[in-house]
Every structure is written in structure tokens, then in C-alpha cells.
Chain A
Amino acid sequence: MDIRFEEPALTGSYDVVGSFPKSFGYGVEESSTSADKPRILLMGLRRSGKSSIQKVVFHKMSPNETLFLESTNKIYKDDISSSSFVNFQIWDFPGQVDFFDPTFDSEMIFKGTGALIFVIDAQDDYVEPLGRLHLTVSRAYKVNPDINFEVFIHKVDGLSDDHKIETQRDIHQRANDDLADASLEKLHLSFYLTSIYDHSIFEAFSKVVQKLIPQLATLENLLNIFISHSGIEKAFLFDVVSKIYIATDSSPVDMQSYELCCDMIDVVIDVSCIYGLMQDGSGCAYDKKSLAIIKLNNTTVLYLKEVTKFLALVCILREESFERKGLIEYNFHCFRKAIHEVFEVGTSPQGISSSSSSLTGLKYATLNGSAV
């Protein structure tokens, strides 16, 4: 039972839904209103690419198709918790409307937010967006200081590498200068270079989501232990539907490895859809028994195994290490069990210190971890 449900000290409390274990018969799980789930906001000027990001990452839209997306005219609240590990809502805002106008309830919008992603179009002049960024961020900070502020410097596919770095540095500096002028030094902004035409958007989104997972350190630890004991080079814990990874081991992440793993997931799911379904088309392409081993011609092996309903472990290892397959499998078995335990623990009174910070609870429940 989730005690937080009863705790009156929480201001603006919402139901900690995703972490409810299946056995909890309260029935609130399905019926919790959308206002209760934590959320990620996508804001920015018009035509900066917010709707495209949301569609490409979570709805598998082809980047070319995003050219024909309609202009967003109201807040689009996308709830992806049923298909993704990510148990929160993505709110896509229309760029033309000022949501700090008294007509709108900015309290309500920002109180329940875990992360605010501000999208800047790098191919256009960024003076105006910077101004808006400052405005948005400072107002949101006033309402809710615990929001993670992320800035996506978007559409960098058209820029050369030097230009990219230059742009990022420039934006970074100006934004922080503005904040310093407004004496909001405590406000931290993270910058990412993204584009929907390659995997950078997924990478950036992965980092954003990771910051909202309280169990991150534990997961990383587990992964470290696992790879060191199994002779694996790199391992990612992927959310299969959106292809963002929620944890990786401590070794540095190489973009190519990440892309490789993404592609592998695509292949596995596609093949499963063809051969893995029943005669009548029922069944799931991705289930408990999903397992894939792909041997590349440069002696690298890719290994995919199901961990939970939404998560898969993807590892990159050398062919020699893969000879000790039995050991790896046993280690994986322990790892999988541990992961389940971590997420089950997540539902029980871990953060219920009656400390006043109600917003630890906010970052808390962004997971569908216990869904097995």
C-alpha cells in the first residue's frame, strides 16, 4: 500500500500510480486522473520542433513525415504509460500561446512537472528563443523549483560540427548570463544538441528521463556488477517502445554503440512481429521469452534479453567473452531478479520520510517498474 496516498503533508499530491504493485487492490491505478501523473513539458517557440520530437520518439513516426504535422493548437497531453516504461505524460504546448497569462492556471501546469524541455531551433536566429527561455524558466522556477530544466538545441542536422559546438557554447553562455542577471544562479540548465534525423534526440531524451528516475544509481550499480562479472563491454537498459535507455554502466557512452543497439531492437521487434505472433495474429512481439543474439562480422556480439514488460537489456561484448554463455545467462538471471526487486522496493515506503519535500515524491514515481 502506498502510504503517500494518505499523507496530508503533500501539497498538490497526485497519485503515485506507476509504483503500485499489481496486488494492490485499490483500483486507483487505472482510474487516476491525468492531472495526477507527473509530466514532462515540451515548450518553445512555434515551429521549433516540439511536436516532431514527441511523435518521433514515442510514436515511431518517420522523421520525414513530421513535415506534414499540423500546427499544435492546444496542449496535447500524451500518456504513454501503457506502452512504455516511462510512466508520465508528455505535454506538447502550442508555441504561439502564452501560458503565463492569467487566463491559464500556471500553478496547475507547473506543479506536477518533473522536467521542462525547452526546444530551440538552431537553424534560426536564437535571440528570441533565448528571451522566451529565460521568461519561461524563471516563471516556472517560481512555481516549482524542483523542475529539471533541459534545453534542446534542435535541428542541428543541418549544421557542421564546428558550428554545432559554437552554437551550443554561445547559447549556454547567454542563457546563463541572463539567469545571473536575474540572480537565479541556483537554476541549472542542461544543454543538448539534437536532431530527429539521427539518434541524438533519443540520447538526449534518455538523459532527461534518467534524471527523473530515483533508482538510477542502483540500476547503474547493478549493471556495473553484471558487466564486470560477465566480461561485457557495454550494457544498456532500454525502454523497448521508445528506444530511450534508462540506465547504462559507468563506462562512457559512445553514440555509435547506442545507435547499434537501437537498430538491433528495431530488427528484433520487426522479426518478432513477423514470426513471433500466433496463427491468428494474437500474442505480443515482445514478451518474457524475448532473446536475441546477433554476431557482427567484426567479432562483436550483440545480446538482447527481456528484463521487464517494457525494458530490455542490450549488451555489446566480444566474441570470446560470449563463449562463456552459461555464465552470462546465470548472471543475467540474478540481475533480472535484482531489477525486479529494485522496482518492487520502489513502491514501498522508501521516500516517505515525512520530510516536507513533497517533491521527492514527484521524481519518485515515474516508473512502470513493477509491471512484470
Chain B
Amino acid sequence: MKGGSSIGHQSFVYPGSVLKMNALVALCHFCELHGPRTLFCTEALHPPSPSPSSQAGVPVPGDRDRDGDREGEGLTMRANSSTTQRGEMCDGCRSLPASHPGFVSIDDETGIRFLSHQHPRQPQLFSVVRQACVRSLSCEVCPGREGPIFFGDEQHGFVFSHTFFIKDSLARGFQRWYSIVMVAMDRIYLINSWPFLLRHLRLTIQSLQSTALKVFDNEQGVCPQRAVRMNSVFSPAVFPHQRSGNAARSLTSLTQHPNLWASLHSSFSWLLKACGSRLTEKLLEGAPTEDTLVLIERQTEQEEEMSCWEGAEGGGSKSQRHLSESELGHDFLCDYAKLDELPGPKFRSLRHLRQVLGAAEFRQLVWHVLMGNQVIWRGADPGLIQSAFTVLKSLVPVGCVRSVPYSAQYEEAYKCNFLGLSPDVPIPTHVSSSEFSVLVDVSSERSCQISVMGEDDVSSLYQFTISSANTQPTDRGPTLLNKLEVALSNENLSVDVVSHCLLCLKEEWMNKVKVLFKFSKVDGRGREDTQKVLALLGATGPGEEDNVRLLKFWMTGLSKTYKSHLMTAVRGGERSPSQ
């Protein structure tokens, strides 16, 4: 098969159900005697789908072909309406002899089988392909006559077709008319594959044409047809003239290619496979949240980095990569995996955390988290700290989280806003005296044994001391925190309900962030206007300062796509006058 190298994975986020790519490629020919005919057809069979014809394995080729012929391409004029003429195939329209078993290629990765023969195996595809063939050869026109066309409908499928000429010294106009069509039921898929299909089909066509041209030149050199024909018309010996004489010439004889059909099979199979793996669809329920977008962005970045690294270092640096990632704590998803592995008691939810720490301390801590200050936890149990971080991270958008779960040295605030340290790590004075950080010291009451019974009871095992140089009052705002506290203290609401409530609050405030972002950063409004917007957003009131801080902090968590989209949208468009 052609080129097994990486094609480049492109994700296509697509609301709707996931479809199985089901397409086939066919070579069609306008036969001198019979009109539009399907010459050669490659289809992809997906393993799970049990189609009736595949149950018997590869059917007896002879039977199938006879059926195919009997159904007849159907568009040949039958002068006497007799059925004898129906099934005939001349050299021009028969590609593989009826006894030929066809070609099969099996894709080991996916289990898809690519089958090629003169006609498609499944009877329902037969009429679809015939229709496509007729339309492509006899109905649709493109400028210059050799080129790509897209047409189709729901009933007969959608077709991408590329017509072309093959030179033939014995043909009437010195050329014969062919086309390659790709038939699929998914319109959007085909249209999105247009550039890809065009590029590759052109290559195939050009190679066929150049091979045939060589044969043509040879034949013309031996015996120039123009002279022969001009002279023969007027000689009486010609009568009755050569009606069927040079009518049909098979593609094999036109190109003198020894393995024409086999090589076409491999080209078409590759095309189907590559086209299918180019685009993928993801099932999406509802519009994506900002968090999802950020996650997707990070994933894409990681993949790109991976491919860069692999390319640069020959793929042997996986361990290195993991190490650097764990140092920087990039991989959001990795945390989950590691957390389960660590033993010991853990924080289960925000409510649990609140319970253990106490309402006032909890509030203080969460206030710092929401303001974007650095949250440092120092303790001996990495699992506990990590669980705390997991719980706290859910308070802010994904884009705002930069965490180092456990480290032996202090990391600056710009690197991470969630920092876990081992017990004996000193905190630099500039940090401990800074307003923008909070430290939680975890100390265990009993220095050793953890009793089997109380394994999960965090509060009995540990003591938490929260310290911060912050002088701001933490009890006025932000509004989000106030609402959250109400939800947390309401014992009637289960943990799940509270987490959903938090999700909604986050979305609400993320939307406010977006408005503010557009207003202030993108449009560049002044203070007064911004104040008005803030009032509109409900961010004013007793907790205004805190709300504003929250909004500004959360602005850093917007996805890059969103930011760049807004920036370009504004620059491209006109500034809307203020009302």
C-alpha cells in the first residue's frame, strides 16, 4: 500500500452522531459501444456490519458477475429489446475477467477490508454506482472537461467525480473518456475531503494519462492514423465499413501496464483509508464550555509537542517528558491517575474540606483561591495535599490552574498557584510577608501509627494551620463565594448537587469575564464605562472589589481560541458606537 506514514491527525469537533465512513471509489468509462460503464470498483467493508453478501465469505466470483452483467448497466440501447444484448461486455468495458476473484486488502489496524472488482459486491450499491457513473460521464460538465465535480442527493448518495481523457490512437477523436468517482452518503464529509481527494486523484490520473500517452506516441509513430483514415474512407474495399472495428479498447491495452488493476486497487484502497482517517468526529452534547475548550487546546499542544520531540529525538524520550511534566504539573489528567495510587486519607469534597477546616478558615482559604493568590500546602502526606488541591481546583476555571502537587522546594507564584511542599521546606520571607499568598501547614497529632479504623478520618489525624499576610477582609465577597457557602451549608443538598451548583456559578461568572474582557481589553473602554458594565453584570455592591479581582483573575483562564477570535473579530470589524 502506498505511504503508511503519518497522515496528520485532524480533529473535527462536530455536533451530532458519530458516523462510520462508508464510501467507495470507482473507475468509469464511456464505452464506444455501450455508453457509460463501471469499469472497476473498490469498496471498504467494515468488520462489524454483517451485510448479507459478506456472510458467505468471498462469494463465488462467477455467480456474482453474471448477476452483475444480467442486471446490465441498463443504459445501453437495446434495439430489439432482446435480453441477449443486455449482458454483453466488450473489451472496452470489461476490466477483470469474470473468473477473476478480485483484489482484497485487509487493514490490520482497523480490520477494514478493501475489495475491488468490476462491480460493487452489494446489490444496493450497484444502482448507486451506476447512477453516479452515468451522471459523471454523460451529464455533468466542468470547465475544460477534465476536472472535479461534486453532485448528488440523499437518495442516490453524494459523488465526487473527476473526469479525464486517455489518449488512444484508434479512437474516433483520438481519446477516450473516463472518470474516477468517489461515492459516499455523507455530504459534509466528502466536501471536506475535496482538496485531499483532488490532490491524490490528480496524481493517479496523471500517471494513467502519461503512460497512455507513451503508448499513443509509439503507435502513431508506427502508423499515423490521420493518413490511414482519410484514405480509407474513399476506398470501396471499406464498404461495409468498420462499424465496430476500433470501437473498444481496454484500458490495459491503452496503457500497456502489466498490473494495471492491481495497482489501481492499491491506489484506491489507500485513498479510502487515508480519507477516512483524515477526519474524525467527536460526539458533543451541547455547546462546549470554556473548560472543555482549554482542555482541548492543551491536549493539542501536548500532541504537537510530542510529535516534535519524537521527531527531534527519535522517539526515545518519553520518560524525560513525563518527568518534566510532573515538575511543571502540566498534565491535568495525570493528576487523577496518580491520586488513586497514593495511600492515606483524602479530602472528598468541598463540604468535607469545609467540615475539617472549619467554616471561617475554609472561607479564608477559598477566598485566596478565588482571588488568584498562591495557595501553599505544606505537609508530609502528598496524597492528602493532592486531594485538597483537586477539590480546590474545581473552584476556578481550568485555565487558571497551574499546580505543583508536591515539591521539595519552593516554586514562585508565577509558576504555580497551587503548591504542595514537604514539611521542612522553608518559605522565603518575601512570600510569607506577601499579601498574595496563603500557607496551610498540615501537622499530624499523633506522630506514628494510623489506626485501621480511622484511616479516612482526616480531622482526627491532622491539624491545619492557615496563615497569611493578607489584610483584606475576606467576608464581604466575592458574590460567588457567598452563594457557594450558602449551598455548602445547606445539608439538604447532596454533594453532587453542590458540585453542579458550583459548575453553574462558574459558567455564570465566566460569561461575565468574557463580557468584561471584550469590553475592557478588546474594545479598550475607559474606567467610567467599565464601571457601568460592572453594575450591569451584578458585580457591584458590598463585594465589588473582590468581584473585580475575581473577574480579572479569571480572565487569565480564557481559552486562546476565544481570545484570538475576539481580537480578530474586532480588528476586522467596525467599532460599534456606544449607545
CB within 8 Å of B: which residues of A?
A: 45-47, 64, 67-71, 73-75, 94-98, 101, 103, 121, 123-125, 128-129, 131-132, 135, 158
Contact = CB atoms under 8 A, between A and B. Distances in A.
Contacts of A97: 35-36, 75, 77, 134, 138
B79 A69 contact: no
B226 interface: yes
Given A68-B174, A69-B172, A124-B241, A129 B226 contact: no
Contacts of A96: 30-36, 76-77
User: Which residue among B35, B79, B137, B173 has the maximum number of chain A CB atoms within 10 Å of its CB?
Assistant: B79
22 contacts: A45-B79, A46-B32, A46-B33, A47-B172, A67-B230, A68-B172, A70-B172, A71-B171, A73-B177, A74-B138, A74-B141, A75-B138, A95-B77, A96-B33, A96-B77, A97-B36, A97-B77, A97-B134, A103-B131, A123-B239, A128-B79, A158-B239
Interface residues of A, dominant DSSP: loop
B79 A129 contact: yes
Nearest to B226: A68
Given A47-B243, A67-B233, A70-B172, A103 B134 contact: yes
A128 B32 contact: no
Interface string B162-179: 000000000111110100
B74 interface: yes
B139 interface: yes
Contacts of A47: 172, 243
Contacts of A125: 240
A95 B77 CA distance: 8
A73 B138 contact: yes
Contacts of A95: 77
Given A73-B137, A97-B138, 4 more contacts: A67-B230, A71-B172, A94-B30, A96-B33
Contacts of B80: 128, 131
A64 B34 contact: no
A131 B173 contact: no
A103 B75 contact: yes
User: Which residue among B34, B76, B138 has the maximum number of chain A CB atoms within 10 Å of its CB?
Assistant: B138
Given A74-B141, A103-B134, A124 B32 contact: no
Contacts of A94: 30, 35, 138
B322 interface: no
B66 interface: no
B229 interface: yes
B282 interface: no
Nearest to B36: A97
Contacts of B139: 74
A129 B174 CA distance: 26
Given A73-B138, A101-B74, A135 B79 contact: yes
Contacts of B33: 46, 96
A75 B230 CA distance: 27
B348 interface: no
Interface string B78-115: 11110000000000000000000000000000000000
A4 B80 CA distance: 42
A158 B229 CA distance: 16
Contacts of A158: 236, 239
A95 B244 CA distance: 13
A128 B241 CA distance: 16
Nearest to A159: B239
B143 to A, nearest CB: 14
A129 B229 CA distance: 24
A68 B31 CA distance: 17
Interface in B1-37: 30-36
A95 B32 CA distance: 9
Given A135-B79, A158-B239, A69 B30 contact: no
A70 B78 CA distance: 23
A74 B233 CA distance: 26
B516 to A, nearest CB: 54
Given A73-B30, A96-B34, A97-B35, A123 B172 contact: no
A95 B226 CA distance: 24
Contacts of B75: 97-98, 101, 103
A121 B30 CA distance: 22
Contacts of A69: 172-173
B130 to A, nearest CB: 8
Interface string B220-255: 000000100110010010011101000000000000
Interface string B56-81: 00000000000000000011111111
